[in-house]
Amino acid sequence: MRKLARARNLVAKQMQMAIDDIIGNFELLDDWEDRYRYLIELGRTLEPLPKEAYTEANKVRGCASQVWLDTKIARDDKGQKLLIFHGDSDAHIVRGLVALVLALYSGRAASTIIETDAAPLFAELGLAQHLTPQRANGLRAMVERIKSEARAAA
């Protein structure tokens, strides 16, 4: 049981490093064409969803592209609920946005997810100014879906 808890803590730390790495990489890229390419590359790093996860229940409403989020709940060594998210999209850039959102939220405690405001990060990365209104709405829908899952788990 302790090994499982340590593994979960390690996953959470790796996820935090991943979001920090993503932010750092975005800061290195001045050109938005390069940032879009980077988002596409991020999307390619997502683990494939199992076929059974492509359900209506896992579909994120409010996205112009199709987006699926699959949620699993685990517990850390203190019994706190951790939410593990996996996702996919049928659009390359949106798939990258899914990877970004998962790096920010997956593997975190429900309470942390609820408290984490993604808007400042999105503004810092310049996403608010450079995404189409449909993609920006989809991004907000993904975050709201994740927070909704966290509220239900809390």
Domain with 39 in it: 2-153
User: 10, 6, 21: which is closest to 100 by C-alpha?
Assistant: 21
The dihedral region occupied by 126, where left means phi > 0, alpha psi between -120 and 50, and beta the remainder, is left
User: Is 105 an annotated catalytic residue?
Assistant: no
User: 107, 99, 109: which is closest to 49 by C-alpha?
Assistant: 99
Tally of domains within the chain = 1
For all residues of the chain together, what is the average pLDDT? 88
Which residue out of 39, 63, 98, 142 is catalytically annotated?
Answer: 63
Give the model's pLDDT for residue 12. Answer: 45
CATH code for position 78: 3.90.1010.10
91-140 pLDDT per residue, tens: 999 999 999 999 999 999 999 999 999 999 999 999 888 999 999 999 99
pTM of the model: 0.86
More confident residue, 80 or 53: 53
